[in-house]
Amino acid sequence: MTASDRALELLRIAALAADDKQAEDLVALDVTGPLPLTDVFLLATGRNERNVLAIASEVEDKLIEAGAKPLRREGRSEGRWVLLDFGDLVVHVFHEEDRSYYSLERLWKDCPAIALDLPEHGERTA
């Protein structure tokens, strides 16, 4: 089984939003095999708590604009690991120290990565 078209559409929106807020080390994983409740994880890293919160807010705003409904939000008060659950897509925005510590890529290493193909920053239009 592979990620749905809707999940891939939401992933693209979320990845662009995270990248716009200078998220680093963006990784998308197709988790349809081991997880029946979601299709895709997007992992992103912020340099500090303020950046983590800015990334999470931008991703949430853009996904809501696209008609997605947030099912759950966690971690906003600390700004270390913010989880945004949109059903087909779950976004994890980490502080760089927490990303290393929890190492979700290692935990989900058997899940295939999804290419993001983000435009270079100079190629974007306003």
Q: What is the pLDDT along the chain (126 residues), one digit of tens a residue?
A: 689 999 999 999 999 999 999 999 999 999 998 988 899 999 999 999 999 999 999 999 999 999 999 999 999 888 999 999 999 999 999 999 999 999 998 999 999 999 998 887 545 544
Phi, psi of 32 (to 5 degrees): -65, -30
Q: Look up the CATH superfamily of 5-114.
A: Beta Polymerase, domain 2 (3.30.460.10)
- pLDDT value of residue 122: 47
This prediction's pTM: 0.91
- CA dist 114 and 46 (Å) reads 20
- pLDDT value of residue 121: 58
Cβ–Cβ < 8 Å for 65, 14 = no
Structural domain boundaries in the chain:
5-114
Q: Distance of CA 103 to CAs 27, 52, 68, 80, 95, Å?
A: 12, 17, 27, 14, 12
Name the residue among 87, 53, 51, 54 with its Cα closest to residue 70.
Answer: 87
Task: Indicate the SS3 state at residue 21.
Answer: coil
- pLDDT value of residue 1: 66
